[in-house]
Amino acid sequence: MQHFSYQDTTYQVDDQGFLLDPGFWDANFAEGVAKECGIDHLTGEHWDAINALRELCRKSGTCPTVFAVCRAIGLRPREMMVLFPTGYHRGLCRIAGVDYLLRRLPDNSHALQSTADLKALSGKKQYQVDVRGFLIDPDNWDPYYAMHRALEMKIPQRELTDGHWRVVYYLRDVFKREKRIPTIYETCEKCQLELEELEALFPDGYHRGALKIAGLRFVK
Please report the pLDDT score of residue 104 as a whole number.
43
Statement: residue 23 has pLDDT above 50: yes
- E-strand ranges in the chain read 2-6, 9-13
Higher pLDDT: 193 or 21? It is 193
Please report the pLDDT score of residue 122 as a whole number.
44
Q: Which amino acid is at 35?
A: K
Please tell me the distance from the alpha carbon of residue 196 to that of residue 75, in angstroms, as a whole number.
12
Over residues 31-40, mean pLDDT? 96
pLDDT digits (tens, 9 = 90+) for 85-139: 998 988 999 999 998 766 443 333 333 343 344 344 444 578 898 888 899 999 9
Statement: residue 34 has pLDDT above 70: yes
Statement: residue 26 has pLDDT above 50: yes
For the beta carbon of residue 210, count every other beta carbon within 10 angstroms.
Answer: 22
Please tell me the distance from the alpha carbon of residue 75 to that of residue 104, in angstroms, as a whole number.
26
Please report the pLDDT score of residue 112 as a whole number.
35
Please report the pLDDT score of residue 195 as a whole number.
87
Sign of CA dihedral 212, 99, 155, 184: negative
pLDDT digits (tens, 9 = 90+) for 152-193: 888 876 778 888 999 999 999 999 999 999 999 899 989 989
Q: How many CA atoms lie within 13 A of 141 on its CB side?
A: 25
Strand partners, 9: 6
**Cβ within 8 Å of residue 114, ≥6 positions away:** none
Statement: residue 220 has pLDDT above 90: no
Strand partners, 3: 12
Please report the pLDDT score of residue 114 as a whole number.
38
What is the pTM (predicted TM-score) of this model? 0.58
pLDDT digits (tens, 9 = 90+) for 36-87: 999 999 999 999 999 999 999 888 878 888 888 999 999 887 788 899 999 8
